[in-house]
């Protein structure tokens, strides 16, 4: 646990009592603060009360009179589409609002660091797609290279639940726009921006607000080194804002679309090969085509970003390449579940939007595509140009018929349920085919989250006859 600094003897309100909220209350208490907790749900309040925390109704008048700060869970809106009533009341009372990420950066370094030969480092990863894979891959490379590392944030543990660092430790954090948008302290040593595509627009008041939330990771404190994916206009803009000139190697540009050899430091992937260039010459190259845990151009971008981040810590290219080959990938993200009678079954349940589904569709050939669920604003017509490898689609969920209409004349079958879709794919698939779950939709019509959807798919695949 990371004890929170700066609130000794003061009351600090905690709003939202899920995993991160309870970890925040514990870290506040460990640092000498007095956490007072609230959750809109009785179940959340009961969990906190069972752990001995004070429950205070933050919706009542005058609730913030003796409160030093309000720490809110990232999922609770503070600005768009409308502020939560408790957050609005705190702001009216002049009470600072923060989240666990801000508390982490304000409390991470202690006077004990003066005794370390090598200071601990933090690597933070943000972006629209690939954050989790890039974060996990960085952590895997560090671990394989013998560097002590912890992983947290939007993946794994809550940030305040981490172990206090020792000398040379590296913490790798995945940070969503919800987490970066409100944190009052953001001071990573290395910050990574993967890419930007439309998502969470209602929460951020549009694309500009969404990008602004991501950009805060690079603007509030300023990392010592930035790794920026420059294949989208926003990434190119962010790189230009950071760099003081073409040869400024505090910035590492990353691309999975083109050569970037003319900059001070760049890492890019072309035709399945990763290349590192510094000051106009190639330093290293890795063949990614046989790295089974990182299939497709979107994962090659993730590989480039992770490579750049660990190279900034001095990890050798040969060590990175070996770690790539031992990386198994993350569940629900282009995860190969099995090969049965020559048919590959791939779980990419995390592909919840058009852009991530398009990347999955470009990573494989001879695809039997399972898609559908709760469709998002804008529909799926943007996938029409990425269907060249799809032999047939099997649509499920609330938006099954809408998908069929939008993607006509694609050969398809309305299956409605995952069970029916897996059975139909098992009936139709031939050796050399890939059955790909890449829904291009949210899961909430049939499942509580994309993980449960992917787990159900995996269970059905595991039950298929061999």
- Binding-site members are 127-133
β-bridge mates for residue 265, sequence order? 278
Contacts of 356 (CB under 8 A, 6+ apart): 129, 197, 298, 348, 350, 438, 440
Q: Are 124 and 185 in contact (CB under 8 A)?
A: no
Instruction: Quote the tokens at residue 146.
Output: 């013998």
**Whose structure tokens read 């709003």?**
15
Return the SS3 of 157: strand
Q: Are 222 and 190 in contact (CB under 8 A)?
A: no
d(CA 291, CA 97): 44
**Whose structure tokens read 């040969």?**
318
Q: Is residue 184 left, alpha or beta, with left meaning phi > 0 and alpha meaning psi from -120 to 50?
A: alpha
**Whose structure tokens read 């209350």?**
25
Q: What residues are designated binding site for ATP?
A: 127-133
| H helix or E strand, kind and range, residue 462 | helix 450-462
Contacts of 389 (CB under 8 A, 6+ apart): 361, 362, 364, 365, 366, 367
Q: Are 244 and 268 in contact (CB under 8 A)?
A: no
Q: Where are the alpha helices (DSSP H) in 38-170?
A: 42-50, 85-92, 100-107, 131-144
Q: Are 462 and 337 in contact (CB under 8 A)?
A: yes
Closest listed residue to residue 54, CA positions, set 93, 23, 13, 24: 13
Q: Are 266 and 260 in contact (CB under 8 A)?
A: yes
Q: Are 254 and 218 in contact (CB under 8 A)?
A: no
What's the residue count for the chain?
A: 466
In whole angstroms, how far apart are CA 360 and each of 173, 299, 350, 386? Answer: 24, 9, 10, 10
d(CA 233, CA 252): 16
Contacts of 412 (CB under 8 A, 6+ apart): 392, 393, 394, 395, 403, 404
């Amino acid at each position: 646990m990371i004890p929170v600094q700066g609130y000794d003897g003061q009351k600090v309100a905690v709003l939202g009592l899920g995993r991160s909220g309870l970890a925040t209350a514990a870290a506040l208490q460990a640092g000498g603060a007095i956490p007072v907790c609230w959750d809109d749900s009785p179940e959340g309040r009961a969990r906190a009360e069972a752990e001995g925390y004070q429950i205070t109704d933050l919706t009542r008048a005058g609730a913030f009179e003796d409160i030093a700060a309000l720490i809110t869970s990232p999922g609770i809106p503070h600005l768009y589409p409308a502020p939560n009533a408790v957050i609005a009341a705190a702001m009216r009372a002049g009470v600072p609002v923060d989240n666990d990420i801000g508390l982490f950066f304000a409390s991470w370094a202690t006077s004990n660091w003066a005794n370390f030969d090598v200071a601990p480092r933090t690597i933070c990863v943000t972006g629209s797609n690939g954050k989790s894979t890039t974060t996990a891959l960085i952590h895997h490379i560090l671990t394989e290279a013998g560097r002590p590392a912890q992983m947290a944030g939007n993946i794994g543990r809550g940030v305040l639940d981490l172990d206090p660092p020792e000398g040379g430790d590296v913490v790798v954090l995945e940070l969503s726009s919800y987490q970066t948008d409100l944190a009052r302290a953001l001071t990573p040593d290395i910050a990574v921006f993967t890419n930007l595509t439309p998502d969470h627009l209602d929460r951020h008041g549009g694309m500009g607000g969404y990008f602004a939330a991501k950009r805060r990771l690079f603007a509030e404190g300023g990392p010592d080194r930035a790794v920026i994916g420059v294949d989208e206009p926003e990434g190119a803009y962010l790189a230009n804002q950071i760099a003081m000139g073409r040869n400024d190697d505090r910035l590492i540009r990353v691309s999975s679309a083109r050569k970037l050899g003319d900059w001070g430091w760049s890492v890019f992937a072309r035709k399945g090969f990763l290349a590192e260039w510094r000051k106009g010459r190639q330093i290293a190259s890795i063949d990614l085509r046989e790295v089974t845990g990182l299939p497709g151009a979107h994962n090659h971008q993730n590989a480039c970003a992770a490579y750049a981040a660990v190279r900034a810590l001095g990890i050798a290219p040969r060590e990175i390449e070996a770690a790539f080959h031992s990386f198994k990938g993350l569940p629900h993200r282009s995860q190969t579940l099995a090969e049965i009678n020559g048919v590959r079954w791939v779980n990419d349940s995390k592909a919840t939007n058009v852009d991530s589904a398009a990347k999955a569709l470009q990573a494989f050939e001879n695809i039997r595509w399972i898609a559908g669920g709760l469709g998002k604003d804008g529909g799926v017509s943007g996938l029409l140009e990425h269907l060249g490898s799809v032999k047939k689609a099997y649509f499920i969920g609330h938006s099954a018929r809408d998908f069929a209409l939008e993607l006509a004349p694609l050969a398809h079958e309305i299956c409605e349920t995952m069970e029916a879709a897996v059975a139909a794919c098992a009936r139709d698939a031939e050796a050399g085919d890939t059955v790909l779950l890449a829904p291009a939709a949210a899961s909430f019509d049939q499942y509580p989250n994309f993980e449960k959807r992917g787990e159900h798919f995996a269970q059905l695949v595991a039950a298929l006859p061999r």
